[in-house]
Amino acid sequence: MPDHGDQWRYLCSELVTVYYESAPGAIRQLAGNLEEISSETAVLLLDTSVRRGHALSFLAQNREFRSVVDSWVYEPPLGYFVSVRFSGGYQWREEDFRPEHLLKVARPARAKGQEAS
């Protein structure tokens, strides 16, 4: 899972449609599940990996989210957890899109004496 720094993270479950370019000019569409979301990142569960640095879009509740793949981890038998960072300076807010199942998770703890930036 990605390092979210000082952001609030939300565990969620929302079926999404994913689009990415699998080869030059070849757009691939597949079903996935949105597993986690924060203001700048998301984690999708897919049945295939997507290369780091590739553009990836996903549709949820008729809303399009554009992103770039940061990393992925294969977890058998579940599939590939693909971590993405939203593109174009977009910052997700719950008011913009609320997954059907959403659980706010505490921010990562700061080291003693460390101040917020």
pTM: 0.83
C-alpha dihedral sign at 85, 86, 88, 89: negative
Q: How many domains does the chain have?
A: 1
Q: Tell whether 107 is covered by a domain.
A: no
pLDDT digits (tens, 9 = 90+) for 27-79: 999 999 999 999 999 999 999 999 999 999 999 999 999 999 999 999 999 99
Report d(CA 59, CA 57) in Å as an integer. Answer: 7
Does a structural domain hold residue 42? yes
1 falls within a domain: no
Element (H, E) at 12: strand 9-23
